[in-house]
Every structure is written in structure tokens, then in C-alpha cells.
Amino acid sequence: MVPGDIRRLVAEHVPGDRREIAARARFLHELDRLARPCDETADPVHVTASAMVVGRRGTVLHRHRRLGLWLQPGGHIEPGERPEAAAVRECREETGLAATHPAGGPRLVHVDVHDGAAGHTHLDLRYLLVGPDADPAPPAGESPEVGWFDWDDAAAIADPGLVGALRAARACWEATGAPGTTGTNEGA
């Protein structure tokens, strides 16, 4: 994905709350100045990708091994990798789950700007992924504290900066006709 494609994706995204409105504005400002926005070595400010994993059991969170916060899986984009592919890869690496994009293709549900390690600022693209009805099995070296949470429990333990993304992911999941909701089952 070239910088113009990322900019268009973020510009077309409709924010869900004040935090996301501010994040979207900052994201667009940074994209205008970054020559290589997905390259974590090019600038302390760079684009990352994460997975809002949803399914019949709710959503998946893990306790970040360095930060100690309950977050969604996600991280840096590898050279030549598209952000939506990075979200899938990061989910698999951090949770062991083979989550996929919903029917119809990748769905950006939230954008956020937050501090990362080593003085970095992450411009995070948060994609909806559908997880299998299986328990997470993170590989060695990843946080062993990972699991499915019902939506209310997830919102109660998640980092406050993630709560808006959880609301957006839940609304999107339920709108697609997720099992156990009032919509159709087309996106399940």
C-alpha cells in the first residue's frame, strides 16, 4: 500500500468519538510529511497495524508483555507488507489464532495515535478480523495472558485508549449479522 492509499483510507474513515477525530487529524498531518510512513526506521512516527479480533465469544485481548496493558494484537509493518496483512500476521504471532478479514475484504474500524516504545509514536490502523472459535495459543516469547472476553469485560480491563475501538469493532461485527446478533449471517 503506497502512502497515498493509506492517506485515502484514513481520510475516508469516519471517526466514532472525539479521541478518534483528533487521532485522524494527527494521522493525516503526519502522512503529509512522512516519505516512508510504514518504515519504523525512517522516523520515530510511523504507521502500525492491529487486529480487533471478533467472534461468537466476543473479542480477543492480550496483556502486553512489556507494557502490562490489555490490548489488541498488533505491531509494526514489515517492509513491503500491506497494513491489512500486518494485522493478520501480528494476530497470529501474538495469539496463535488464524483470524481472517471478514467477507468482503479488509475493514478498517478505527484509527489511533499513541506513544510506542523508544520514543516512537504509532499511527495505528485497526482492522476488524474474525477469529476462529478456538482458544488462543500464543507461541513462546509472546504474552501467555491472552483470551476471549465478552464485550463488557473487555471494555472494563482494556487500556482506556482502546475502548473506542472496542465499541467500533462490536458495532461492525453486530452489523454484519454476527452469530447471536439481530443482523444477517452474511459476514460471519
| Digit-coded pLDDT (tens) for 83-136 | 999 999 999 999 999 999 999 999 999 999 999 888 899 999 999 999 999 999
Q: 26 is written with which cell numbers? A: 494527527
pTM over 0.95: no
What distance in Å separates the CA atoms of residue 107 and residue 181, rounded to the nearest whole number?
Answer: 19
Among 133, 129, 162, 156, residue whose Cα is nearest residue 54: 129
For helices 3-12 and 18-33, what crossing angle results, to 10°? 160
pLDDT value, residue 66: 81
pLDDT value, residue 39: 96
pLDDT value, residue 99: 97
pLDDT value, residue 15: 97
> What DSSP state is assigned to residue 58?
E
pLDDT value, residue 1: 61
Task: Give me the percent of the chain exceeding a pLDDT of 90.
Answer: 85
In Å, how far are 22, 40, 59, 134, 180 from 101, measured between CA atoms? 26, 24, 14, 16, 19
> What is the pLDDT of the chain when averaged over all its residues?
92
What distance in Å separates the CA atoms of residue 179 and residue 97, rounded to the nearest whole number?
Answer: 19
Domains identified in the chain and CATH numbers: 3-175 (3.90.79.10)
